[in-house]
Every structure is written in C-alpha cells, then in structure tokens.
Chains A and B, each alone.
Chain A
Amino acid sequence: MSRNPNAAETADAWDAVVRFDDVSMRYGREPETLRDLSFSLPQGSFHFVTGPSGAGKTSLLKLIYLAAQPSKGLLHLFGQDVVQTPAEVRPFLRRRIGVVFQEFRLLDHLSAFDNAAVPLRIAGRKPDSYRQDVAELLTWVGLKDRMHALPPTLAGGEKQRLAIARAVVGRPDILLADEPTGNVDHEMGLRILRLFLELNRLGTTVLIATHDQDLVARSGMPVLHLEDGRLAHMGPVSAGARP
C-alpha cells in the first residue's frame, strides 16, 4: 500500500517535490481562481484534491503540470522555482509528470497504442524498447483488443483508460489526474485506483482531483480540500471536507 498518508504534514517542506508558498493564480484579468495556497507534497505522497465545481481543482493541477503560472507567490517543483526555471528546462520537468486530463486530449490520428506511447517517444525511447511495456499496460487497463483502434472509435471509458495509460507509461515522478474515474464503471474505477496506489507504492507522488467520494473513502488517503480557490482543509478526509 502507500506510504504514510499524512506525509505531507510531517515532511520537511524543502524536500517536497511540490511546494506552494502563498500561491495565487488568475486567468488574464479575471479574479483570482486560486488564492494564497501554501502546502507541500513530499515525494511518494498520495492526495486527493476535492472541492465543489469551480473551487480551482483543475487550476491547481495546471500549475503543477506547468500549463499555467502563479500570479503571486512561489511554486517549487522538484526543488526548482517554476517561474525562474529557464524555458529550455521546463520540458524536462514536464517529462517527470504524468497527467490524466479531464478531456483526455488523445490524438485522433494515432492508434491507442501510439497514443499511450507518446511520452516515451518524446523522451527519445525507440519503439523496440517500449513496445512490450505499452502493450502490457494497455492489456492491464483492459484495452488489449483495442490497441490499434483510433480514439474516435473508443467509448468514453476506453478513452479514459487510454489517457491513464499514457499518463503512467513513463513511470512519472508525479502523477496528476483530473477526474480519472468520471467515465468508468465502479469496478474499473477501483482498478484504476489500485493502479494509482501501486504507482504510489513504487514512489510516484500522486494527486487526484475528483468528485468521487467513494473513491476517496476507499483509498483512505488525505485530501486537499478547496473552497472558492482557497485551501480549506488538508489532511484525512473529514466530515467538513466532503468532495
């Protein structure tokens, strides 16, 4: 199973793979979506990000996978200040992060196999070196018979599982998932949770944004609960911090 669920609270913040210091974020001239967030995620921790729609869960993930920048405060990733990190270094930080996007972002002209292999190809792996790994992973997520299918022919749940396979195929240091069980049945949701827990056991820091209360409850993992862009609660799931 996973490491200490409360690792975030006890770890030295400077050893954290993700550290927010009074971070705020806004889109253009809009009001701030995230406000004054301060927390850190140690390596190997597992957290859910919960909160009502519009609370800022997706924006929080965007900051971590470097699709957005803080408008205020300091955000450290793998010990580096992301604002100060040179542009040519950022791609290498991104390669250490696997992301399951809420809208999947699959490339329609690539087969399921090629979609799953995208991070490995970008990292410079040769097809011969990853073919078996990708095939095994796709088999594990139940897409063994759909490896050569194009995304438009996949069902919603299949797309989601493919997006998950792509996010984890490179054994990322951080795994971010935005509603990863939103389009799958209960049984597949549990399988996906087991996959995330297994990756976490191997050292991957996992952060999952979800509305799925059952998933959070079953995992027993701590939550980062957002309310109106602020961190309302961090720690074990409590009655006041329902997803």
Chain B
Amino acid sequence: MSRRRTSGPFDLDRWRPAPFLPERDTRDSALVFVVAVLCFLACLTALGVIASDRAARGWSHQLSGEMTVIVRPKANETPDSAAARAAETLAGVPGVAEARALEREKAEALIAPWLGEAADLADLPVPRLVAVVLDREAPASAQSLERALLARGLDAVVDDHTTWLADIQRGAAIARWVGLGVFLLISAAAAAVVAFATRAGLAARREVVELLHLTGAEDAFIARLFQVRFAQMAAGAGLVGAACAAVLGAAMRLGGGGQGLTPVLPVAWSDLLAVLPCPLAAALVAAVAARVTAASLIRELS
C-alpha cells in the first residue's frame, strides 16, 4: 500500500502533477510479457552461441594438439613392447609433451564398432596405438615423429588427425554460423515485436497524443513522453528476460560441473555477462519505435 506524504491537512501527493501518460496500464501487461519472453529467448540463444563456439574451438584445439601413432610389431617383438618402445621414442622428440601407449583393450574398443560384435578380436593382429600430446607452444610435426620412429626401426603410421580436423572445423564453423544466424533472427524478431507492441501501445493512447497536440505541445515533447515511457517498460521487461536466461545459464553451469551441462555445450560463468546488454538493447528498440510511431501519429494529426 502506498504511503502519502502529508504536511498537516495539506496532502502533497494529491497535488503533485500526475504524468501525462498513465503510470500503469493493464494494456501494457501483454507488452511487458512478450518483450520479456523474447529477450529471454534472445539471451538464451546468445548463451547457446557462445557455448557452442567454445565447444567447437575445444574440439579443434584438442584434435590439433594430439596425434595418434599406429604401431605394427615386427616379427621378433610383442605388440606391447613395440608400443612401449614407440612411446619412449616419441616422448623424446622435441615438441611432444606426452606419449603414452594405449592398452590392447583400448585399441580393440576403437576398432570393435567397425568389425561388429561377432568378430573375435583375440585372433586378430590388432595394432597398438600410442597417443601423443603435443607441446602447445611448439608442436612437433607428423614428419618429425615419423623420422624418429623410422630411426628406431619401428613400423608405424602417424595420424595427425588432419582428415578429421578439417571435418570438425568445418562442422564447428557451420555450428557457429548457424548459431549466430539463429541469434540474429531471434534478436530481429524480438526487435520487431518490441517495435510492433510499442506501436500498438502507443496507438492505444492516441487520445493523449491528440489532446497534447491540440493543446500546443511540441512534437518533440510528445514523442519524448512516449519514448521514455516505452523505453523504461522495455528495459524492465528486458531485465526480467535477461535475468531468467542468466538463471537458466547458471543452472546449466552448476548442474554440469566443470564442463557445464554437457561437453557439447559448455557454459562458463563469464558467458552470463552476455545477457547484460539485453535490457539496454530492448530499451533502445522500444525508444526508436515509440519515437517513429509518435512522429507518424503526430504527422497524421497535422
């Protein structure tokens, strides 16, 4: 319940001039709701775009920072010892941070999907794999690894993931652009709806525009009234939408642990800052729409 400031029998609030535009209007509820929902969707899309971009960068980074070496044992040595020797050799190559021979089970797990469950892998000469992690600062090349393995008399093939990397990078770029496109589309839709709703709200107050106009208010004065009112309204709605999106983003971050909800969409705390411009953008769009509409209404009256 509002409290009135009084000074003796004279009630100051009763005599304070009310704004030319109603402070609260039930017709505005729908506008606030629509703007809040659209801002929420736009913010959520922005978070999704940022997270998917991070995921795409992560995949590329991971693939480009690693190589896989397939080691074929020679007749006089076991697969395990060949893999161990290859790992030892590769670990000494400049630009290699770590080289680790994978167990037979891991190699079998990798090829099992290609051969099906019916195949008995125990009878097959499954090649051993060595996972090589490259130095980020000065990574070794595939050629230098091949030369080192050859020098130690090892029969091995170095896979630098070039084939996969190109596909992953292409996929990541597509995901990034699609995300950006969706974000821009939703933002444009949000802006259009804000503008449309603002126009509708303003048209509903046509009687105020007409009266002020005929009473001698300057066009800029009338336009400013509506501009400020609708900008405030849109900013409030944008704030609600952005806050809801931030809460959801935080929940995704908290629920997913260190990598966010899923490694495919890793949300970082800093991503939540992306929602901050939303209320301002909503206010700006509403202000422009209100100004243009008010100017158009006034032109009709003139």
Contacts and interface: CB of A to CB of B under 8 A. Distances in A.
Contact of A114 (B17, B215, B219, B301): B17
A88 B218 CA distance: 7
A94 B215 contact: yes
Interface of B: 14-18, 20-22, 207-208, 210-219, 221, 301-302
Interface string A125-153: 00100010000000000000000100000
A209 B293 CA distance: 33
Nearest to B221: A122
A119 B20 CA distance: 12
Given A91-B218, A95-B216, A105-B211, A127 B14 contact: no
A39 interface: no
B72 to A, nearest CB: 86
Nearest to A126: B17
Contact of B302 (A87, A99, A109): A87
Given A121-B17, A127-B17, A107 B207 contact: yes
Contacts of B210: 105
B215 A90 contact: no
Nearest to B14: A148
A147 B171 CA distance: 70
Given A107-B207, A127-B17, A65 B218 contact: no
Instruction: Report the 7 A-B pairs with minimum CB-CB distance, sorted nearest first.
Output: A95-B216, A94-B216, A109-B22, A91-B218, A122-B217, A91-B216, A105-B211
A117 B21 CA distance: 15
Nearest to A103: B207
A196 B278 CA distance: 55
A114 B216 contact: no
Given A65-B214, A94-B216, 5 more contacts: A87-B219, A88-B219, A105-B210, A107-B208, A118-B20
A71 interface: no
A155 interface: no
Contacts of A67: 214, 301
B215 A119 contact: yes
Given A107-B20, A107-B207, A94 B214 contact: yes
A38 interface: no
Contacts of A88: 218-219
B216 A109 contact: no
Contacts of B212: 118, 122
Contacts of A110: 18, 20
Contacts of B21: 109
B169 to A, nearest CB: 58
Contacts of A111: 14, 18
Contacts of B15: 113, 127, 131
A99 B20 contact: no
